[in-house]
Amino acid sequence: MTRLVVGAAIVEDGRLLAAQRAAPPELRGRWEFPGGKVDPGEDERAALVRECAEELGVEVVVGRRVGGEWPLGGGSGGSTGGSSGDYVMHVWLATVVEGVPRPLEHLALRWLEPHELYDVDWLPADLPVVAAIEKLLPGSATT
């Protein structure tokens, strides 16, 4: 069964927020979009708001979706923390409207300027999403 995962592409002042995984051990230290699994019956935008509150301690407003469905696959990483079953990720642009992001469930957070997007070790499943977001950021080489 395919499970839905949501990821937040939080953009502020032309920078993208990246989160460094703390767990599981095989993904520790890699970078991802904040987010997580959508609970059964939960609206995916509501799930993203919930996940950002739990993981970052912030309230976000969810904007438009980036791309379509981004396959994660079993154990390939990317905002799931699980290793069984197949996952598909929907990534949404998001804006922080209350609070300052803190790494409540991650090792670290980092705001990446357009020229720094590939300076961190992204999870493989998140790399195509980074490329799609890069085109949307002001000051990127592709805008």
Residue 139 lies in a domain: no
| In a domain? residue 142 | no
Buried b (16+ CB within 10 A) or exposed e, 79-107: bbbbeeeebebbbbbbebeeeebebebbe
Q: Which residue range forms the structural domain that includes residue 120?
A: 2-134
- At residue 124 the predicted structure's pLDDT band, cuts being 50, 70 and 90, is very high
Determine the Cα–Cα distance for residues 64 and 80; give it in Å rounded to an integer.
21
> What is the three-class DSSP state of 20?
strand
Residue type, 99: G
* Distance of alpha carbon 133 from alpha carbon 126, whole angstroms: 11
Residue 83 has pLDDT above 60, yes or no: no
47 Cβ contact partners less than 8 Å away, ≥ 6 residues apart = 6, 36, 37, 38, 39
* Percent of the chain topping pLDDT 70: 87
Residue 122 lies inside a defined structural domain of this protein? yes
Put simply, whether the predicted model's pTM sits higher than 0.85 gets the answer yes
140 domain-assigned? no
Instruction: Give the total number of structural domains in the chain.
Output: 1
**CATH number (domain holding residue 62):** 3.90.79.10
Residue 49 lies in a domain: yes
Is beta strand 2-12 parallel, antiparallel or unpaired with respect to 86-98?
parallel
Whether 141 is covered by a domain: the verdict is no
Q: Is residue 112 part of a domain?
A: yes
Q: Comparing 41-45, 79-83, 89-93, 118-122, which segment has the lowest mean pLDDT?
A: 79-83
What type of residue is 120? V
